[in-house]
Amino acid sequence: MKKKYQVLALLLVVILLWYSPGISMGVSLEELQQAQEEVEEKINRYKNIIQTTQKEITSVSSEMASLDQRIRAREIEIEALETTIAEKMDLIASLEEDIVMAELGFIDRQKTMQARLRAIYENKDVSFLDVMVDATDMTDFLVRFELLTRLAGGDINMLDDLDAQRKELESMKLSLVADQMALQDTKGELESSQASLSSAKNSKESLQEKLLSEKALAQKALDEEEQSNKEIEKLIKDYIASQANKGVYEGGKFSWPTPGNSRITSQYGWRIHPITKTKSMHTGIDIAAPRNAAIVAVAGGKVIYAAWYGAYGNCTIIDHGGGLTSMYGHQNKLGVKEGEIVLKGDQIGYVGTTGLSTGNHLHFEVRLQGNHTTPWPYLNGEV
């Protein structure tokens, strides 16, 4: 931001100098050019930041989408488990009823048997006591006792069956309870996995917010620098216009700026820019030529600019009089200096690809009173 104020202060100084007659512009132009290079450097830096940040934003977005999918999958698994757990609980409840019924049946049987045993002991006709009293010794007594007891054997077996049935129901219930507990454990694990996925998603969200605000800041800085660049461009353009001869152009048909190289790769007019991919005005024509091929003056005149000129790279501007100038951009090397007088056909530079360019070529531009115009009428001798 400090640099920004330096540039603004410089612009103010330049503007003041501009409107003060008699003060040399030489130093100010150099400063303008330096300021322009600095601004362009910053523009590139901010564009890089924006591009990198946008890539990160895209990748974080897709990570968030995949986390969302996994969270949804966990939800479905948890819901399925809850259904299974509910089914198990229903089964356990119905088993508990069965167990209660079995216990009641057992108690009922037990009572019946006890009643029957009591009936045997208390029967007057077949006196239990008589049978027992007739026993000759202790062994005989035990044999007789067992015989009598066996009369109730059917009931005892039935009681054993009922007890076994009840025990089986109990063990079924225990295994269901164990199943249910295992399912609850699994559900707990799924829930904690889901919670950690959610917290991962939350941290991605805050990262995303941070990246978006970084990108917005870089965009704001870029807009400011581009505005500064436009202001500097205008000051340089005004400087060049102020240098132009006010006489009349009498040069006739232009000579071809790159002798031996005539293939046009981009015409004057609206086009999609090959680097920025945006619709923009192409202010000159592009002529394909090898690196260091000769560039010549299309007509005689005075070199009013021979230096780096932003997107044009190394650039020469020749004033031909009558407000007519020709401009030669992207040069690998300049061949003339500001203030030199050149004749039509003199070599003034070397083809290159400096500035905003995708390969060796000459960007040739014609300006009338500082405004770009199609160069063809001049190249064809129709003016």
By CB under 5 A, the residues from 42 to 81 that bind Zn ion are none
CA distance 358 to 296: 22
Q: Is 365 in the site for Zn ion (CB under 5 A)?
A: no
Minimum CB separation from Zn ion for residue 227, in Å? 24
Minimum CB separation from Zn ion for residue 303, in Å? 20
| Residue 257 near residue 298, CB atoms below 8 Å | yes
Minimum CB separation from Zn ion for residue 48, in Å? 24
Q: Which is nearer to Zn ion, 28 or 354 (by Cβ)? A: 354
CA distance 105 to 109: 6
By CB under 5 A, the residues from 277 to 316 that bind Zn ion are 286
Q: Determine the size of the site formed for Zn ion (CB under 5 A).
A: 2
C-alpha to C-alpha distances, 68 to 63, 76, 201, nearest whole angstrom? 9, 12, 8
Q: Which is nearer to Zn ion, 4 or 372 (by Cβ)? A: 372
Chain residue whose CB lies nearest Zn ion: 363
As beta bridge partners, residue 45 has: none
Q: Is 231 in the site for Zn ion (CB under 5 A)?
A: no
Q: Which is nearer to Zn ion, 215 or 363 (by Cβ)? A: 363
Q: Is 363 in the site for Zn ion (CB under 5 A)?
A: yes
Q: Tell me which stretch binds Zn ion (CB under 5 A): 77-85, 117-125, 257-265, 357-365.
A: 357-365
Of 53, 5, 3, the C-alpha closest to 210 is 53
Q: Which is nearer to Zn ion, 302 or 363 (by Cβ)? A: 363
Q: Which is nearer to Zn ion, 231 or 286 (by Cβ)? A: 286
Long-range contacts of 237-244 (CB under 8 A, 24+ apart): 237/370, 238/18, 238/370, 239/25, 239/29, 239/32, 240/304, 240/305, 240/317, 240/325, 240/370, 241/369, 241/370, 242/25, 243/304, 243/305, 243/319, 244/304, 244/319, 244/323, 244/325, 244/369, 244/370
Minimum CB separation from Zn ion for residue 330, in Å? 8
Q: Which is nearer to Zn ion, 52 or 353 (by Cβ)? A: 353
- In the complex, the residues that contact Zn ion under the rule CB under 5 A are 286, 363
